[in-house]
Amino acid sequence: MKQIFLALLAAWAIYNLWRVMRCAGNAIEVDAEAVTNVPVEAAFREYMKVREYYLDLSPGHRKYEIAGTSPTGDMIVDIWETAGFQSVRHRYRIAELVENRRMKLVSERSQVRVLGLFRGVTRSEAEFRFAPLDEAHARLAITIRIVFPNRLRHFLARLFLTEEIWRSHARQEMTALARIIEQRQATVTQRRLPSGPSIGSRPGAAG
């Protein structure tokens, strides 16, 4: 049994080493998407208020704070999150913002801690995309790209399931985002509906 385990471990290491060597850059990239029953303009508008509900998107979300006033200027989005046995602090800048279509965040030096012991620094990119499916539905998508400083760090990240951990996290986040956007939009629509007569009131009755 021990020999089988060691053989499997060696095979896993060799497979991931092969993936690192054939990769053009020292990066891991994951994607996820979800469909929301909300028009794309409304979906984008609700996403831009994400600071109000960021902690509800995933149990691993710990903190979301914004400093600065200009989205494409001095604004910094300070995010703390965990996934699996990894915790990360990002300091994102908005690298690209296209209304109703996409927003790209870039953190040049994300602080990473693995198992609460090992520390490192990566470049983190998160691109959110919004696409209309029809007048009442939109597709939400995210691409997370983690860039490592060298091949050794890249290899260790793959060895310890970083790709799988963050893909699962991204899927969870997109599913929750679609649901929360629908809930918030339903609340907005409800507020706009005219109030009808109360129970027991008579048409034309004076107040």
The per-residue pLDDT for 201 is 47
CB 154 within 8 A of CB 13: no
| Six token digits for residue 84 | 């699996």
Indicate the pTM of the whole model.
0.84
CB 101 within 8 A of CB 88: no
The per-residue pLDDT for 154 is 93
Kindly give the parts of the chain with pLDDT less than 70: 192-207
| Six token digits for residue 44 | 């984008």
Q: What are phi and psi of 160, to 5 degrees?
A: -100, 30
Strand order in the sheet with 118-134: 27-36, 137-147, 118-134, 102-114, 86-98, 76-83, 61-67
